[in-house]
Structure 1
């Protein structure tokens, strides 16, 4: 019985073909195409307003060299938000619950920020491994600790996103199963569990958007240290 709860994290297969590719491409359909006329619709105006505010807030602490990442970071947060929200719909699959995909996004982007720092400002990049004013006896230990924390960063990015989404989906699955089981036995209790399920779904919608924002925000903070 417990194994069936984790079947929702497996990619659906149609005629032997995994549907994860369609899951990755479907968020593009949610973004409206730009209109030919000068005055767009209200949806496009709201979309541009959100894009501008998010980009301004994200790139404010960065210098001019970090602004080159604006398109990449904006595209990444839109991709993560779209896939997280689509995964909350019935009979769908959430690719961001797979640790392999999240690490596949986190490791190359984190590595790009590290390589950029070592290439453009090697002294400052290596200086992050040793805090200023460290006693001489603690220098080797702190260098080892800071190096380990540096390499743990991409793992923390991927695991944080995976764990939050997986826990939310499991709770929704458990409460929905309990609601169906209690419906013929105790309708009043089933109604209460259904209310809890509705509130949990609202919470998961917020978590889906917040975790995508946190993923990109932490990536921008890593970029800030290397530009």
Structure 2
């Protein structure tokens, strides 16, 4: 029997209902809600501290106009981290390995930053398409290049997140399959392979958090150029 390692990225369905909807709503159920007590639990205190620190770090280079995006960017960061982390559990599905979903996050948010810049500072936004002091013969070429680089930003956002998570999941499945096959023939090599798999799993946990942070950080940089 030939295994298809890409079957793990197929969107599962149950009774004709795509389970990606459940995967997108589940993270919000797992997080504790603020209580009405005078003193919160340690988990709530740690969660609030993480939110505050991340929001301060994210909004530090932005001016006051970009602070309106604080709730949106923090919620997106929390959603992406949770989806990526839950996808590392056995018998689970990672929605962020789907390019369509990642582009669904990237394109509207990128377009919103561009529209904000065109509404508030149209001259400054169009100035990005042509650096100051450009020689006259190079003006058409540079405008075309800068326009292409502008429109390729959301594609780069979605492809970066998809490619990193997909490559990590494939590598983990390949190493796990190799350890399972080598176990009856070469137990020592299988144990070493299992150790490598454990270390790779730790690396994937870090990648899941870092890629979510990079996704939101790049969006904040795009916003910084337009506010």
Give the TM-score range, shorter chain: over 0.9
Match of 2:86 in 1: 86
Do residues 110 (structure 1) and 110 (structure 2) align? yes
- Which region of structure 1 is more displaced relative to structure 2, 19-28 or 149-158? 19-28
Match of 1:26 in 2: 26
Q: 1:103 to 1:187 in 2, by over 3 A?
A: same
Match of 2:55 in 1: 55
Match of 1:121 in 2: 121
TM-score w.r.t. the length of structure 1 is 0.98
Gaps of 5+ in 2: none
Mapping for residues 92-103 of structure 1, pairs under 5 Å: 92-103=92-103
How far 1:140 moved relative to its partner? Answer: 1.1
Alpha-carbon distance in 2 for matches of 1:14, 1:4? 21
Query: Which whole-Å deviations, capped at 9, do the CAs of 1:161-217 have from their partners, x for residues lacking one?
Result: 000000000000100011110111110000000000000000000000000000000
Match of 1:135 in 2: 135
How far 1:3 moved relative to its partner? Answer: 5.8
Q: 1:3 to 1:148 in 2, by over 3 A?
A: farther
SS in structure 1 of the partner of residue 63 of structure 2: coil
Match of 2:36 in 1: 36
- Which region of structure 1 is more displaced relative to structure 2, 98-107 or 126-135? 126-135
Match of 1:188 in 2: 188
SS in structure 2 of the partner of residue 89 of structure 1: coil
Gaps of 5+ in 1: none
Alpha-carbon distance in 1 for matches of 2:132, 2:32? 49
Alpha-carbon distance in 1 for matches of 2:38, 2:103? 41
Match of 2:179 in 1: 179
- Number of equivalenced pairs: 227
Alpha-carbon distance in 2 for matches of 1:103, 1:11? 16
Alpha-carbon distance in 1 for matches of 2:66, 2:21? 31
> Once superposed, which parts of structure 1, at least 4 consecutive aligned residues long, lie more than 4 Å away?
none
